[in-house]
Amino acid sequence: MTAPVPGAPADQTRRDRSRAALRKRSMTIAGHRTSLSLEQAFWDALQAQAAAEGLSLAALVAKIDRGRNGNLSSAVRVYLLERARTAVNSTAP
């Protein structure tokens, strides 16, 4: 949970907590129903990455699922982290 920032408005602290809370969504990948629990920031990043790759959200999760070792939610977070690192490294001077 996010600690309050001294001097931050109370509504900002509530928004920070809300974005940090896990959101669970169900989808069908590889022909079976599964659920995925991610923080809102990761759902936003996953949607943006799917759009960037020209894939639906379910298609991107299926792609990640095929290459994962372990927990699907963790695999999604790592995939997004790797994409963010690649983007940062490609724009570095």
Judged against a pLDDT cut of 90, whether residue 40 lies above it is answered with yes
Number of domains in the chain: 1
pLDDT, residue 1, reads 45
Domain coverage including residue 59: 10-91
**Whole-number percent of the chain with pLDDT over 90:** 66
Q: Is residue 15 part of a domain?
A: yes
User: Alpha-carbon distance 7 to 21, whole Å?
Assistant: 22
For residue 82, give both structure tokens: 């790797």
pLDDT, residue 93, reads 72
Q: What is the CATH number of the domain that holds 32?
A: 1.10.3990.20
pLDDT in tens, 4-28: 666 767 766 655 565 579 999 999 9
pLDDT in tens, 76-92: 999 999 999 998 888 86
- Other CB atoms within a 10 A radius of the CB of residue 12 amount to 13
Q: Is residue 3 part of a domain?
A: no
Q: Is residue 1 part of a domain?
A: no
